[in-house]
Amino acid sequence: MGLKLVLSSLLSGSLYARISGPLLARRGIWLVSTSPDLCIIGAGTLGIDLALYARRLGASVVLADRDRPEPGDAAHQALRMASLVQSAKRAQDMRRAPELGVGASDFKLSAKQVAERATRLVENRLRATSPEILTAQGVTVMRGAVSFVDGRSVLVGDITIKPGRVIIAIGGAPAVPDIPGLGDIDVLTVDSILENQRKLTHLVIIGSDNAALEQAQLQRRLGAAVTLVPHGPLLPEFDPEAVSLLLTAFADEGISVRSGARIVAIKRRSQGIGIEIEIEGGEREVLDASHVLISAGRKVDLGELDIAKARLKPGATSSRTIRPVGIAAGHDDWSAARAHGRTVVDALLGRGRTNAAFPVPRLVETEPAIAQIGPLLPNTSKARAGDTILRENMAENDRAAAMGSDRGLVKVTLDGKGQIQRATIVDPFAAELAGTLALAMNRKVGLADLADLPLPRPSLFEVFSRLGENYLAARNVSTKGQGGRTLRRRLGF
């Protein structure tokens, strides 16, 4: 016992302080395995989720914590954003209260309190994945700078481990485009704006992705004037019909979207910021802004891991034993990143691609929200040979009408057997509706089966039973029509 105490004292400032996890006590000396089945680099939410998933599969796992938050931690960003969105929605609901027969009343919106609530929510969730809890669940957590020694060895702090497989789950910093004058001003990013506790006067957003549109509506509802300059097509991975519905909602809320425009220069002023944009036709215009937000994706720095020492092939960032996931693999959406990451864990541990087939909805967290399931075709208004496109207007749904949601749709593409191939949903509850459709697609439940959903009334999910009924009706009419034509031919008509 004395030897253990001496060893603990010697290591208290370095090794002992950087390792937590299941330790093996052998003759009074504490040991830690340096040859785990799997090492996951990056202790953000994704890395933790995959570490716990691998443990449930029976693998020994080392989680390499770089001793700092992973930038762009998708799950925590999504949770913080969801909290801010809900606060802004409450403010918008109060503005729209007279439309539902509720008298208008004055209210005070505190940007500081809104931000503090979001921070508390994330901090409470962080406690559920503390090192002590991970330790209790069998994950070895090692803290310190992380780098590759060679293709089979990883250095974590002062300790070299030789894992059987390595997953890189580090985060990525917001990318900043090359725009003249941008470096002369203080720019907000999709990360830093989540910490903002002040009301913004006029926010100009540069970007065309999910985060750009989500922030545009959020900041407008929190009291800022907002101008969005996309610098490219808006939401190119989403159905243009759905994007058009969202832009109509934006216009009603007073959000200016300068489609087709690009920023040619930014000038710092004694008060505010001058932004020169070029619109279609070559004309130029100057916007007066108080703040500028950049939403142009993320970039991952694998160089700080000394990835070159892993002896990968030129231009490659992965091998049979080393695989990137999350932002490092091009997945900045939390759901998509987790689904891909678990597929990678399955593959590295020899379990096949068990998670690969499940369709993961892509979501724009606006109001109405947009959910896209399945690959988007080049021309979404036309079906391929053998496919059928069906749509339902959510304004005709009793529950949606009662809620005052007058915009929305569900559009599905079916193959010749009535199986759902892809879907687009525009509705405040698009995420929940999309989850049901994704499950139906994964379980090979045809649209005709959804016609018999046992639902209370009114219910948003009635839209699925209506789609199923419409599909059955169209199929029956088509069959009868074909029979009638055959009969007429036989009778010589």
Assign residue 128 the CATH number of its domain.
3.50.50.60
Tokens coding 183: 């470096």
* Of 338, 346, 344, 360, residue with least CA distance to 44: 338
Out of 211-225, 315-329, 338-352, 375-389, the most confident range is 211-225
Residue 233 belongs to a domain: yes
Rounded to an integer, what distance in angstroms lies between the CA atom of residue 158 and that of residue 162?
14
Choose the final residue of a domain: 256, 279, 296.
296
Listed in order, strand segments (DSSP E) in 251-384 are 256-257, 262-268, 273-278, 284-289, 291-294, 298-299, 322-324, 362-364, 369-373
Report the residue count for the chain.
493
Rounded to an integer, what distance in angstroms lies between the CA atom of residue 382 and that of residue 258?
28
DSSP 138: T
CB 62 within 8 A of CB 163: yes
> Looking at the predicted structure, is the pLDDT value of residue 4 above 50?
no
Q: How many domains does the chain have?
A: 3
Give the pLDDT score at 29.
38
Judge if 408 and 474 occupy the same domain. Answer: yes
CA–chain centroid gap for 337, Å, is 8
Judge if 27 and 167 occupy the same domain. Answer: yes
Task: Choose between 324 and 315: higher pLDDT.
Answer: 324
Judge if 389 and 468 occupy the same domain. Answer: yes
Average pLDDT in the chain: 84
pLDDT (mean) for 257-278: 93
> Looking at the predicted structure, is the pLDDT value of residue 459 above 80?
yes
Task: Choose between 74 and 454: higher pLDDT.
Answer: 454
Judge if 260 and 341 occupy the same domain. Answer: no
Judge if 40 and 139 occupy the same domain. Answer: yes
pTM: 0.83
pLDDT > 90 in the chain, percent: 52
Least confident of 114-128, 168-182, 207-221: 114-128
Q: Which 3 state secondary structure label does DSSP give 418?
A: coil
The one-letter code for the residue type at 350 is: G
Residue 478 belongs to a domain: yes
* Beta pairing partners, 227: 204, 256
Judge if 225 and 211 occupy the same domain. Answer: yes
Judge if 24 and 168 occupy the same domain. Answer: yes
Judge if 51 and 167 occupy the same domain. Answer: yes
Give the pLDDT score at 162.
96
Query: Domain of 432?
Result: 368-484
pLDDT tier at 10, thresholds 50, 70, 90: very low
Give the pLDDT score at 228.
97
Residue 491 belongs to a domain: no
pLDDT (mean) for 324-334: 90
> Looking at the predicted structure, is the pLDDT value of residue 225 above 90?
yes
pLDDT per position as a tens digit, 420-438: 999 999 999 999 999 999 9
Judge if 252 and 400 occupy the same domain. Answer: no
Residue 102 belongs to a domain: yes
The one-letter code for the residue type at 372 is: Q
Residue 490 belongs to a domain: no
Judge if 146 and 217 occupy the same domain. Answer: no
Judge if 376 and 399 occupy the same domain. Answer: yes
**CATH at residue 427:** 3.30.390.30
pLDDT tier at 33, thresholds 50, 70, 90: low
Query: Sign of dihedral through CA atoms 111, 112, 113, 118?
Result: positive
CB 16 within 8 A of CB 135: no
pLDDT tier at 376, thresholds 50, 70, 90: confident
DSSP 333: S
Residue 493 belongs to a domain: no
Judge if 166 and 306 occupy the same domain. Answer: yes
